[in-house]
Structure 1
Amino acid sequence: MFPHLNGLGIQDPTLIERYSLRQEAHKDVLKIYFKKQKGELFAKSVKFKFPRQIKNVLVDGGTHQYKEITEISRNLTLIIDELNKITKPEVKPEVDVKEKILTDLRHLEKVVASKIAEIESDLAKLK
């Protein structure tokens, strides 16, 4: 059912609770967390490191300049697909960037106005 996870040595993928993925230098680090079993203080987890694929991409066709880029390995993408089937991560709705910036700006205005009022109050006390 989950051949790529079995290939990693995970015998019972149904015990997987969640996973995290991060990049360290030229490696992707996958950490898989399992459901806490009865009698365990901490949930078990395992960590796997996957080397990133290195590719040379043409940057400028006129001068034939290439740039070295790295990308996630194909095997890791297949593993992540299987993990997503098991964990069913929640899909975050698209955030309107302009609306988020405006919301942050309004919040900042309130914080600054509050701080100015606090400082003016402290100044009034000094008179």
Structure 2
Amino acid sequence: MFPHLNGLGIQDPTLIERYSVRQEAQKDVLKIYFKKQKGELFAKSVKFKFPRQQKNVLVDSGTHQYKSITEISRNLTLVIDELNKITKPEAPQEQDVKEKILSDLRHLEKVVSSKIAEIEADLAKLK
């Protein structure tokens, strides 16, 4: 039913809660978040990198100048279409910038504290 997600190795797409896409250098990074399972402190997520497609676009036909641009890969657009069917994203709403920054900061705090606890646990095993 979701061939492109299955192609990425996602066996049960019904567990997908949300996703995000960002551009990093010459790649698009897709991060898929799964619903939190019983007994888990944080929900699991997986990250995929897709190279951007390179295109040469004619800028000036008189001098035959071309400009190299990049765009999202076709495979990623197909994956996003499938993800939209699963997550049914709402229309983008105007969000206060300050609210978003604070939300991102709180999320970062959780991730960092979780990672510190994980490293401390690994360190404790070494003693």
TM range (shorter): 0.7 to 0.9
For 1:35, give the aligned amino acid: K
**How does the TM-score come out when normalised to structure 1?**
0.72
- Aligned pair 1:2/2:2, yes or no? yes
Deviation digits for residues 70-114 of structure 1 (CA, Å, limit 9, x no counterpart): 000000000000000000000136x8xxxxxxxxxxxxxxxxxxx
Partner of 2:77, secondary structure, is helix
Q: Extract unaligned runs of 5+ from structure 1.
A: 96-127
Normalized against structure 2, the TM-score is what?
0.72
- Measured after TM superposition, the shift of residue 68 of structure 1 is 0.1
- Number of residue pairs the alignment of both structures matches: 94
Cα RMSD (Å): 1.1
Q: Once superposed, which parts of structure 1, at least 4 consecutive aligned residues long, lie more than 4 Å away?
A: none
Aligned to 1:115: none
**Aligned twin of 2:40:** 40
CA distance in 2, matches of 1:70, 1:40: 39
Identity percentage of aligned residues: 89
Distance 1:92 1:25 in 2: 25
Aligned to 1:28: 28
5+ residue gaps in structure 2?
95-127
State which structure, 1 or 2, has the greater radius of gyration over its C-alpha atoms. 1
